[in-house]
Structure 1
Amino acid sequence: MTAFIDSTGLGVEAADRLATDRALQGVPLSALLAGFQTGRAHVLRELGGRLRQHEMLADDFVSALLELDGYANKLQNRLVEAYRETELRLARTAQAARVQALRELLKGGPVTGVVNTGLAEDRHYQVVLADVSDPRQARRAEAVLAETFCVTVDGLVCGVAVQLPDLSPVADVLAVVTPPVLPKDFGAVYQACRAALQTGRCRGLAGAVRLTELAVDLVTDGFPAMGRMLADDLLAGLAGTDEFHRLLASTALTYLDHGGRVDATALALHVHPNTVKHRLRRLGELTGFSPPEGSLAEALRWRWAVDTWIRSTGAWAASETASPPQSSRRNGSHLSATSSHSPT
């Protein structure tokens, strides 16, 4: 019986090669097993014919069939194992290739690389970039973004999805979230997110922050010298060492960030509206600041000056809240998904 099996060439090595080749060719496992069963039936018929020629006893015949059946089961199990192993290896290789393609696309690689990411070229995706460097924070961020196409780029955790999941579990981590964009724009979007993270760090922000909410800060941060000149020109009456002056400036920034609304400013700072009015009036006496009822450009000049002055004096600690005034309008808890999070 052993000699017959050896003559067929149906060894374990042959089963490995067959399963690996069929997996690489994309042949379904069911088709592979169907072919194996056909071959098994042929071998049984061939064996039966040879045994009849030798006029074997019934007991010997049954024993030979049982031996062959056991060996066939062993080969079938090995076929399945080898096929699954190859499938898993291919899946890992394919995923690694997708990750690398997305990483290159985010870092400004050619847009022709979109096809290698597995993303649809004509579909819009949101991108989130988390400001994490500590491995424990990175693992938390990756867990939250597990349902997205998640990669690590330049040490930062980045997720891509049609709609992002709820980011509130990592509310202590600054994460910049983009509007839906096409994959061809990922390079420019990633650079904007990197800059936005730096802007957010400078202002002590945490949690999910929409990229578009930081648009003004991103632009003004690009011209620091102009910000310093505006601060020197408009806020010459303030002393950076005076805690009350820092409080006035923080209140003014929150006021400007809330569209010049006293009630919204008071709510953000957890004070009475009259307190806000008093501080703004006192700031006006010291600097000439007045509620910007005129042009948007004038309001922007004041905001740029106040923001620069605050950051140069470390005035965040002077406000009633533990976080910077701007953070009151940038609560990331609302950035949660209401539908599928599938990246593709």
Structure 2
Amino acid sequence: MIITKTRCHSLAALLVCACCAVKVFTRLLRQCCFLPSFGHAFNIRTRSLLVAFTGSLVNLSALERAPQGTCTNMYSMDFRRTKLGRFMNNRVPSSKRYQPTEYEHAANCATHGFWIIPSILGSSVLYFLSDDQWETISAWMYGTGLSGLFIMSTMFHTVSWKKSHLRKVEQRFHMCDRMVIYFFIAASYAPWLNLRELGPWAVHMRWLVWIMACAGSAYVFFFHEKNKVLDLLCYTAMGAVPAVVLLSMPNREGILELSVGGVFYCLGIVFFKSDGLIPFAHAIWHVFVAVGAGVHYYAIWRYLYATGTGQIKISR
């Protein structure tokens, strides 16, 4: 098996991100609510082993001074004691929306707004590289989903920053932002499902993926922010199910890039759930989304449009 220079770079980037994720998960363990509640029940040796295992840098004396029954956010306190503290928002309960600082609002807008023009230009490149009707349709599907994601995300964060007093307007933009994610996921799979030969059962995913997107959008419309954990599970399932189907492709060129992009999305979830714990957590999540989308775009451009090898022209 020949490992190209591009794949070596991809694997190196994946390794770096994996190391960062392990470090973040380790620190998140330190802020679990059960530690302060049962801290006094541990003897000195047990607590020493726990601290050594999690790599905690928090002084045990500070842990013992924490009030009983409270959830002391050690990870957040680490940042608040530094110069980064003024850039981050406070942690809020899961039932409420987080309120970013002015710096975080600007970062949230910039990290996705920067990619609007590149996504439009990239979509145009796929359109001009299309050789038949279905490549053109797939390019439009993917380009609309990709550009729509960055445009709607930037619009929502801009409204949330500058027009936060218009609660209903902000809520509508937030709903649209969440709905677009479902269609972006479906659009990301459209070129692979439309232009590659699939198995006899997997071929149905060409239309099932859009039904899933519509169902997810309907859920957002009727149950917006009712259950944030369920929302996250729906997005994860929407991204994982079609990926399994793609394994039935006889031609598996691009699977590595698709996997790397999926890993970036999954690693970004760590920061998506870390608002109030890490400065600019939501903006970092945006960066992971942009990198994952960029990797997927590269795979689509290289294996489906830039060359004619490995493609199956299907007449419908």
Structure ranking higher on relative contact order (CA contacts 8 Å, 6+ apart): 2
Q: TM-score, normalised by structure 2?
A: 0.22
- Which structure has the bigger radius of gyration? 1
Q: TM-score, normalised by structure 1?
A: 0.21
Higher helix proportion: 2
